[in-house]
């Protein structure tokens, strides 16, 4: 990495917009890839994203906009990916850029469909990025609250402590406190599973379960996440830290979580397909539920919450029956 | 304990009313002490408590009402206390009853003012009840959701496994699942500290901190509870179980928690005194904050959240400044 590495943010949604807002507080130049030219034009003219997090005013004088992802990658040293995991492979399919000296950060927290691998694993397998050149940015952090400059905490997980600290420093502002960690695997899978939990939480809410049950569900969920991590990639990790439990809490207790909203609709009786159509998007946790089920065939860890969500979404089991069965497992 | 021990519930508020509702599903006779004669009359006539949890319909044919606490104690084998801890000492001051063969259950989760001891400790010290004859009923459980028969989970903590199981069985219904535990000390102190956390949570909300911060606060809080317990009474306890983390979650995330409401008013600028007057009651966490501070003088455990609440409530430090300082400690 050079002394003044150039950072890019890749993606035009709420979370990348929030990251751009944070980073422009600390860097003099930022590359930003957005697929839509008209969004870029709007941003250049008005200083805010027309479609996502439009309440955030951005310092566009520091931003170099790109609508060509290949060129963005070539002209940046640090690549912060924030495209929904469902579209990552499509977006990256024709990329020929050399990743040898790139530092790749995932702010995605999702599973790459079809391959059933995490984003870190995807860049490692498809683009030969060594894990020491990969990092993860994780919450608990709703983009909406970043726009409002409400104090939030981010964790940068990275094998290479120096690179991790560099990114953490660039994300540190008066409304963002950052810490570093080394557990890429744990923070990424924890972030993936928490989306499944948020779907479960939504389903239960939709079925009429209350706050008492929700508290039990979430307590059991963090135990389930720990069990999965301990059995698949043991490491000294503080599961009750913000990057694990905190991230779970902000998602499972949020009325704004897309995963929770999707689950809520399913709990209320929508079919999976019609809930997806109604929402006009696919919640990350939908893929995650399938993927974790696939991965867990090998490990056979007891994951009752993930299993229940999988059964509801993919095996057509009635939410009512499945959550009733789940409730017998919880304590 | 006899083969058919007689259970009594002592207290007329929401939580004792919920417990009465649950117990009458399983026992043929229940003794219920309520201080107010007119409330008893109303209950006898209409089958619901006029002032608390009035939406719950109770099977009064099974209930023997008492307005004399001494007599209730004498005529019962198992005493479930559910009087606010602030009034417990007053209510018990003239009691001469013999507790030798009584089994005392605390459903209070509070600190006895002036003495700064838990309810279990109070009955042990003042009434010579051995700890093996003391149990704790703990949530996560809002009384309101019991009234609605929404699935909830209770933990009965008790040294004596047999007694614990007996109570757990009597509380088990189609909408209540019970488990037993042995960690009286841990469940009780955890329940006490979570009320302080709920005040902190309310203060932060009142000051304008958002959900991202809340998630970090609660993640740090469960670590703080564990640290306190590990340093004062080490034991093998699963801190992420429902009786610890679950109980914290249902309180800290509840809009209905009196502790959180009290904190919220303080965060919004009410003085402590005026918030108490406005609410017409004193939140349990108010005493708990003082007590934990007193107890911790001996142990010197790092308890930044409890300490911040103590400083705001008792040292007149501005919530704004204190929470800003606290935020530097969290991560």
Query: 3-class SS at A55?
Result: coil
Q: Where is average pLDDT lowest: A109-113, A277-281, B5-9, B99-103?
A: A277-281
Query: 3-class SS at A33?
Result: strand
- Best B208, B216, B251, B320 residue to mutate vs chain A (most A CBs within 10 Å): B216
CB A314 within 8 A of CB A289: yes
Confidence tier at B1 by pLDDT (50, 70, 90): very low
% residues pLDDT > 90 (chain A): 89
Residue B182, phi-psi category: left (phi > 0), alpha (psi -120 to 50), beta (remainder): alpha
CB B175 within 8 A of CB B194: no
Structure tokens belonging to residue A18:
């929030």
- Nearest CA distance, A302 vs chain B (angstrom): 16
Q: Where is average pLDDT lowest: A111-115, B72-76, B138-142, B278-282?
A: B278-282
Residue A3 has pLDDT above 80, yes or no: no
| Residue from B132, B194, B226, B273 carrying the catalytic annotation | B194
A150 contact B CB<8A: yes
Which among A141, A148, A212 has the least Cβ separation from residue B150?
A212
pLDDT at B4: 86
Check A153 against B330: CB less than 8 A apart: yes
Distance between CA atoms of residues A282 and A285, nearest Å: 8
Residue B2 has pLDDT above 70, yes or no: no
Work out the mean pLDDT of chain B and round it to a whole number.
94
Kind and range of the H or E element at B168? helix B161-170
- Best A198, A219, A221, A244 residue to mutate vs chain B (most B CBs within 10 Å): A219
Contacts of B45 (CB under 8 A, 6+ apart): none
pLDDT at B256: 72
pTM of the model: 0.95
Instruction: Give the pLDDT confidence of B148-164 residue by residue, as tens digits.
Output: 999 999 999 999 889 99
B245 contact A CB<8A: yes
Q: Which residues of A touch B141 (CB under 8 A)?
A: 212
A230 contact B CB<8A: no
Report how far apart, in Å, the C-alpha atoms of B314 and of each of B114, B138, B287 are. 15, 28, 10
pLDDT at A1: 47
Instruction: Give the pLDDT confidence of A122-139 residue by residue, as tens digits.
Output: 999 999 999 999 999 999
% residues pLDDT > 70 (chain B): 99
More confident residue, B24 or A257: B24
B230 contact A CB<8A: no
- Best A140, A141, A212, A225 residue to mutate vs chain B (most B CBs within 10 Å): A212
A219 contact B CB<8A: yes
pLDDT at A110: 85
Which has the closest alpha carbon to B179: B191, B187, B171? B171
Which among A140, A148, A327 has the least Cβ separation from residue B216?
A140
Work out the mean pLDDT of chain A and round it to a whole number.
94
Check A246 against B141: CB less than 8 A apart: no
CB count, 10 Å around CB of A144? Answer: 18
Q: Where is average pLDDT lowest: A43-57, A252-266, B126-140, B218-232?
A: A252-266
Tell me the CA end-to-end span of chain A in Å, nearest whole number. Answer: 49
Which has the closest alpha carbon to A61: A43, A79, A37? A43
Confidence tier at A255 by pLDDT (50, 70, 90): confident
- Nearest CA distance, B305 vs chain A (angstrom): 15
- Best A139, A211, A326 residue to mutate vs chain B (most B CBs within 10 Å): A211
Instruction: Give the pLDDT confidence of B172-195 residue by residue, as tens digits.
Output: 999 999 999 999 999 999 999 999
- Nearest CA distance, A137 vs chain B (angstrom): 14
Sheet with strand A78-81: strands edge to edge: A63-66, A30-33, A7-10, A78-81, A103-106, A134-138, A152-158, A176-181
Question: In this predicted complex, what is the ipTM?
Answer: 0.94
Q: Which residues of B touch A151 (CB under 8 A)?
A: 209-210, 212-213, 327
- Nearest CA distance, B179 vs chain A (angstrom): 7
Is B194 in the active site? yes
How many residues are given for chain B?
331
DSSP annotation of B52: S
Check A241 against B219: CB less than 8 A apart: yes
CB A291 within 8 A of CB A89: no
pLDDT at B315: 97
CB A89 within 8 A of CB A112: yes
Structure tokens belonging to residue A44:
């250049």
Instruction: Give the pLDDT confidence of A216-251 residue by residue, as tens digits.
Output: 999 999 999 999 999 999 999 999 999 999 999 999
Which among B142, B210, B223 has the least Cβ separation from residue A145?
B210
CB count, 10 Å around CB of A165? Answer: 14
Instruction: Give the pLDDT confidence of A151-204 residue by residue, as tens digits.
Output: 999 999 999 889 999 999 999 999 999 999 999 999 999 999 999 999 999 999
CB B323 within 8 A of CB A150: no
Structure tokens belonging to residue A153:
């905490």
Residue B114, phi-psi category: left (phi > 0), alpha (psi -120 to 50), beta (remainder): left
DSSP H stretches of helix in B26-99: 37-46, 69-74, 85-92
Which among A213, A242, A254 has the least Cβ separation from residue B216?
A242
A179 contact B CB<8A: yes
Tell me whether strands A117-118 and A111-112 are parallel, antiparallel or unpaired. Answer: antiparallel
Structure tokens belonging to residue B117:
């001891």
% residues pLDDT > 90 (chain B): 89
pLDDT at B257: 85
Number of H helices, E strands in chain A: 15, 10
Tell me whether strands B152-158 and B176-181 are parallel, antiparallel or unpaired. Answer: parallel
Which among B150, B179, B212 has the least Cβ separation from residue A150?
B212
**B245-273: average pLDDT:** 93
Confidence tier at B110 by pLDDT (50, 70, 90): confident
Residue B282 has pLDDT above 90, yes or no: no
Check A213 against B152: CB less than 8 A apart: yes
Q: Which residue of A has its CA nearest to B140?
A: A212
Check B212 against A327: CB less than 8 A apart: no
Tell me the CA end-to-end span of chain B in Å, nearest whole number. Answer: 49
| Residue from A194, A268, A298, A324 carrying the catalytic annotation | A194
Check A153 against B212: CB less than 8 A apart: yes
Check B153 against A213: CB less than 8 A apart: yes
pLDDT at B279: 82
DSSP annotation of A60: G
Check B215 against A249: CB less than 8 A apart: yes
CB B222 within 8 A of CB B245: yes
Report how far apart, in Å, the C-alpha atoms of B330 and of each of A178, A194, B197, B314 are. 11, 22, 14, 22
Which has the closest alpha carbon to A85: A248, A283, A312, A310? A283
pLDDT at B280: 74
CB B133 within 8 A of CB B102: yes
Residue B27 has pLDDT above 70, yes or no: yes
Residue B140 preceded by cis peptide, ω within 30? yes
For residues A205-217, one letter each, b for 16 or more C-beta atoms within 10 angstroms of the residue's C-beta and e for the rest, the string is bbbebbbbbbbbb
Residue A140 preceded by cis peptide, ω within 30? yes
Confidence tier at A86 by pLDDT (50, 70, 90): confident
Instruction: Give the pLDDT confidence of B261-275 residue by residue, as tens digits.
Output: 999 999 999 999 999
Residue A267 has pLDDT above 70, yes or no: yes
**A62-76: average pLDDT:** 97
């Amino acid at each position: 990495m050079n002394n003044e590495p150039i950072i890019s943010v890749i993606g035009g949604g709420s979370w990348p917009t929030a990251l751009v807002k944070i980073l422009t507080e600390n860097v003099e130049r930022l590359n930003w890839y957005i697929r839509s030219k008209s969004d870029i034009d709007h941003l250049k003219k008005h200083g805010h994203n027309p479609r996502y997090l439009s309440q955030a005013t951005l310092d566009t004088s520091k931003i170099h906009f790109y609508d060509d992802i290949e060129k963005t990658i070539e002209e940046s040293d640090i690549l912060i990916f924030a495209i929904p995991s469902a579209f990552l492979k499509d977006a990256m399919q024709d990329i020929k850029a050399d990743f040898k000296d790139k530092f790749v950060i995932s702010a995605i927290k999702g599973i790459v469909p079809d391959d059933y691998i995490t984003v870190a694993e995807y860049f490692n397998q498809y683009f030969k990025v060594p894990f020491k050149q990969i990092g993860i940015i994780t919450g608990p952090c709703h983009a909406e609250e970043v726009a409002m400059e409400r104090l939030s905490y981010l964790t940068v997980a990275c094998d290479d402590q120096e690179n991790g600290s560099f990114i953490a420093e660039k994300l540190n502002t008066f409304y963002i406190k950052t810490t570093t960690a080394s557990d890429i695997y744990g923070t990424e899978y924890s972030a993936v599973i928490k989306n499944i939990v948020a779907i479960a939480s939504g389903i239960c809410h939709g079925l009429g379960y209350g706050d008492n049950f929700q508290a039990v569900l979430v307590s059991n969920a963090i135990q389930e996440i720990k069990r999965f991590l301990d059995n698949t990639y043991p490491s000294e990790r503080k599961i009750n830290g913000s990057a694990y439990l905190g991230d779970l809490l902000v998602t499972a207790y949020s009325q704004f979580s897309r995963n929770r909203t999707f689950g809520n609709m399913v709990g209320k009786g929508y079919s999976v397909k019609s809930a997806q159509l109604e929402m006009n998007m696919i919640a990350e946790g939908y893929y995650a539920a399938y993927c974790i089920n696939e991965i867990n065939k090998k490990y056979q860890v007891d994951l009752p919450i993930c299993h229940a969500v999988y059964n509801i979404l993919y095996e057509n089991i009635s939410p009512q029956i499945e959550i009733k069965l789940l409730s017998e497992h919880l304590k």
